[in-house]
Amino acid sequence: MNKKMIKWAILSISMLQMGAMGIAPALADIAKAFPESGISSIQMLMTFPGLVVIVVSLIAGQLSAMIYKKRLAGLGVSLFVASGLGAYLVNSSITILYLWAMVLGCGMGLFIPTATGLIADYFEGDERAVVMGQQTTFVNFGGILLTFVGGMLATISWQSNYLVYLTGIPALILCIVGLPYEEKKAAEVHKKVKVDKVVYYYALVSFLFVLIYNVVPTNMALFVDEAGFGNAATSGSASSIFLLGGVIAGLFFGKLSHKLNEYMFSLAFFVLFVGFMINYNATNAAILFIGTFIAGMGMSLLMPECILSVSMKVKPMAVTMGIAIVMAAANLATFLSPVIFTPLSGMTGDLSVRFRFLFTGVIALVFAIIFAVITRQKQKKSALENISC
């Protein structure tokens, strides 16, 4: 068993996790190609795969007890590639594009929890924490790469933008060559996966965090326009810097997690608070970039800690299902973020995007304090149980 090959296969698959962002550069041109479709239906070409991921990832969690993860991951990446090639070749209506978006969501739903479950299968202890931090780095880097390459292809035609999903081919090759077939006990193959209740705590943490975190990508273009900081290129740069923050933070996750454990949750929410406050007080694009970079670091501090905690606290057979539940919660939060926070902040009477950063930043600070208290109480309870034993 070559653990280096396994790691690179997992990381290459993880680079595809923000697949829905790949089509973002072409949305304006797609809207022009289908003028009879409303702008919201065009925008949902990006969010629709996330809804599919929620359902399919939960199915994948159950299937992982019966089917080799290598096969699930390989099928997922194959669907990822097929969605792009199919949309490039067959794209005569918005309905057909939605069908390809569903194929994309199915693929992502299969490989997202599976790839993370493979980390739990082949890595332990501090090494597992390091690899999970690296995974988050590659997820964010993949988002930057997909957006950049997709933008270049979109200059040719909006149909060509879909060819960005062919970037999944190297990951598919590494999946086939680098991943072994994990051991499965005969007694587990036909057994329904039961998930420990603790998983739902981590799902709640991820849901609340991503709900606030996504205020940045869903409001950046609007804020740049409102504040007069630049144009679409400025908001595009801010979005890339946002993901770059996640890339950098992921490199330090292993060491931080070893020292802070679940206090990482509070740190991640506090990082969001700091980034949002900088954005709220920004007077130019440079300051906005700093705040956005800091806020972007939060994702690489919280999500891998949630997944690491799940992998450590549930039975091995249920790890992939537990991860699928956490990821499903995060995807649901991605979809609901603008639905919740835009009207909620508007209820105060201030409809500006700038105020939205202040409003959600304060909420992030409140959750930072709440989860610090919860973590402290959990540690005290654990210490008492150890003494009694």
pLDDT digits (tens, 9 = 90+) for 303-346: 999 988 998 888 877 888 888 899 889 988 888 887 888 788 88
For CATH 1.20.1250.20, the residue range(s) in the chain are: 1-181, 190-389
Cα distance between residue 365 and residue 329, in whole Å:
21
Kindly tell me if the per-residue pLDDT of 388 is higher than 80.
no
pLDDT at 389: 55
Mean of the pLDDT values across residues 244-252? 89
Q: Does domain 190-389 have CATH number 1.20.1250.20?
A: yes
Position 254: which residue type?
G
Of all residues in the chain, what percent carry a pLDDT higher than 70?
A: 95
pLDDT at 1: 65
pLDDT band of residue 170 (cuts 50, 70, 90) is very high
Q: pTM for this one?
A: 0.83
pLDDT at 338: 79
Burial 26-48 (b: 16+ CB within 10 A, else e): bbeebbebbeebeeeebebbbbb
pLDDT digits (tens, 9 = 90+) for 256-304: 988 998 999 999 999 999 999 999 999 999 999 999 999 999 999 999 9
Kindly tell me if the per-residue pLDDT of 185 is higher than 60.
no
Cα distance between residue 335 and residue 118, in whole Å:
27
pLDDT band of residue 192 (cuts 50, 70, 90) is low
pLDDT digits (tens, 9 = 90+) for 72-118: 999 999 999 999 999 999 999 999 999 999 999 999 999 988 988 89
pLDDT at 331: 86
CA dihedral 45, 169, 139, 162 (to 10 degrees): -20
pLDDT at 186: 46
DSSP one-letter string for 209-274 = HHHHHTHHHHHHHHHHHHHT---HHHHHHHHHHHHHHHHHHHHHHHHHHHHHGGGHHHHHHHHHHH
CB distance 358 to 276 below 8 Å? yes
pLDDT at 296: 93
Mean of the pLDDT values across residues 210-229? 86
Q: Does domain 1-181 have CATH number 2.60.120.10?
A: no
Those residues with Cβ within 8 angstroms of residue 347's Cβ, 6 or more apart along the chain or in another chain = none
Mean of the pLDDT values across residues 53-75? 88
Mean of the pLDDT values across residues 52-71? 87
Cα distance between residue 136 and residue 60, in whole Å:
20
Cα distance between residue 301 and residue 290, in whole Å:
18
